[in-house]
C-alpha cells in the first residue's frame, strides 16, 4: 500500500519538478530566449562586419583579368580548379605563381596541357599575345607573384661576356654549354634553349618550371638576367654561331667537312662497286 502511494507521489513530484526550482518547461523557455538573443546579437555583428570581409575575399577584377578568367574557365579550370586553387591529381594550385609562370607555360604552348605526362612539353601555342596577357593578369590578381618586365627585347643592355660567365655557373649543368639541353633523372629533361624568346628565358628564370631552380631577383639581379639573355640569344642562338651550314655540334665548319668526307667516301665506294658489278 504505502509503496504504491510513494511511487505515485514520486511520479507526480517528478512531473511537477522539485518545489521551488523552475519547471523544466520554463527552464527550456529561458534557454530558448537566451539562444535567440545570442543569435540576434551574432547576426547583428555579422551584418556590420560581413560587407568588409566579403569585399576582401573577392576584390573586383580588372577588365583584362576578367577576360582572363573567362578564358581560364574554358581551358584551365578542369585541371587547376575554379579559383586556380588546384585539383588533386590533375594540376597544381596557381595561387602565388604570378604572371611570369603563366607567361612561361602558356607562351611556350606547355599549357593547356593535353594529357598527364612527366613533363609538359613545348607545343604550338594556343592563345594570342593578348590572351596570354589576360590569363597572366587573372592569375596575378588572384594571388600575386613574380612578373616579367614589359617589352619583347629584354637584353638590349646586356653584357654578353658577363652573361656567358653567369650562364656557365648557373645554367650549363642542365642546359649544356651549348644551350642544347640534356637529360635529367626519371624521364625528365632540360630542353634546348634554341627556340626561347627573351620573355620566355626571363619567365623561366623567375618561375623555375619543373626541376629548374627559381632564380629570383635577389639571386640573379634584373641586370644579370639581361646579361644571361644577351649571351643565350647572341652567342648560343645566332650571331656567335662558329660557322658551317648545318651547325653540327657548333664546332664550326670542320665537323661539316668531316661529315661530308665520310658520306662522300661511302657513296663513292658503293658507286665503284656498282660499276664493277655492271661490267
The contact set with ligand HEC (CB under 6 A) reads 75-76, 78-80, 90-92, 94, 97, 101-102, 105-106, 108, 110-113, 119-120, 122, 135, 170-171, 173-175, 184, 188, 190-191, 193, 195-196, 200-201, 204-205, 207, 209-213, 215, 228
> Smallest gap, in angstroms, from Cβ of residue 258 to ligand HEC?
30
Please, which residue, 182 or 244, has the CB nearer to ligand HEC? Answer: 182
Please, which residue, 7 or 123, has the CB nearer to ligand HEC? Answer: 123
> Smallest gap, in angstroms, from Cβ of residue 37 to ligand HEC?
50
> Smallest gap, in angstroms, from Cβ of residue 49 to ligand HEC?
34
Please, which residue, 7 or 129, has the CB nearer to ligand HEC? Answer: 129
> Smallest gap, in angstroms, from Cβ of residue 29 to ligand HEC?
58
Give start and end residues of each alpha helix (H) in 18-159.
24-57, 63-75, 77-80, 98-107, 129-143
CA-CA-CA-CA dihedral for 132, 133, 134, 136, to nearest 10? 90
Angle CA 78–84–89, to nearest 5: 55
Please, which residue, 14 or 122, has the CB nearer to ligand HEC? Answer: 122
Which residues, in sequence order, are CB contacts of 228 under 8 Å at separation 6+?
Answer: 158, 163, 166, 167, 170, 171, 201, 205, 220
Residues 174/235, Cβ–Cβ less than 8 Å: no
> Smallest gap, in angstroms, from Cβ of residue 232 to ligand HEC?
6
Secondary structure percentages of the chain, helix, strand, coil, to 5: 55, 0, 40
Please, which residue, 86 or 252, has the CB nearer to ligand HEC? Answer: 86
Q: How many C-beta atoms lie closer than 10 Å to residue 274's C-beta?
A: 9
Amino acid at each position: 500500500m504505502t509503496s504504491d502511494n510513494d511511487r505515485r507521489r514520486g511520479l507526480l513530484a517528478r512531473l511537477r519538478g522539485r518545489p521551488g526550482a523552475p519547471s523544466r518547461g520554463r527552464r527550456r523557455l529561458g534557454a530558448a530566449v537566451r539562444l535567440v538573443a545570442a543569435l540576434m546579437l551574432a547576426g547583428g555583428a555579422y551584418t556590420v562586419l560581413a560587407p568588409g570581409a566579403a569585399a576582401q575575399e573577392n576584390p573586383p577584377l580588372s577588365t583584362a583579368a576578367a577576360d582572363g578568367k573567362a578564358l581560364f574557365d574554358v581551358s584551365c579550370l578542369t585541371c587547376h580548379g575554379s579559383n586556380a586553387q588546384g585539383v588533386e591529381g590533375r594540376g597544381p594550385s596557381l595561387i602565388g605563381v604570378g604572371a611570369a609562370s603563366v607567361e612561361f607555360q602558356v607562351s611556350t604552348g606547355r599549357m593547356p596541357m593535353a594529357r598527364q605526362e612527366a613533363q609538359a612539353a613545348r607545343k604550338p601555342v594556343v592563345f594570342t599575345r593578348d590572351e596570354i596577357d589576360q590569363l597572366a593578369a587573372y592569375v596575378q590578381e588572384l594571388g600575386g607573384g613574380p612578373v616579367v618586365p614589359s617589352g619583347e627585347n629584354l637584353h638590349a643592355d646586356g653584357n654578353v661576356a658577363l652573361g656567358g660567365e653567369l650562364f656557365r655557373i648557373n645554367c650549363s649543368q642542365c642546359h649544356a654549354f651549348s644551350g642544347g639541353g640534356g637529360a635529367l633523372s626519371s624521364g625528365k629533361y632540360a630542353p634546348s634553349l634554341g627556340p626561347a624568346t627573351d620573355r620566355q628565358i626571363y619567365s623561366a628564370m623567375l618561375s623555375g618550371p619543373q626541376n629548374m631552380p627559381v632564380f629570383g631577383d635577389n639571386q640573379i639581379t634584373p641586370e644579370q638576367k639581361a646579361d644571361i639573355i644577351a649571351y643565350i640569344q647572341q652567342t648560343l642562338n645566332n650571331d656567335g654561331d662558329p660557322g658551317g651550314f648545318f651547325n653540327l655540334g657548333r664546332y664550326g665548319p670542320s665537323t661539316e667537312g668531316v661529315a661530308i668526307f665520310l658520306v662522300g667516301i661511302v657513296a663513292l665506294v658503293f658507286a665503284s662497286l656498282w660499276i664493277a658489278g655492271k661490267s
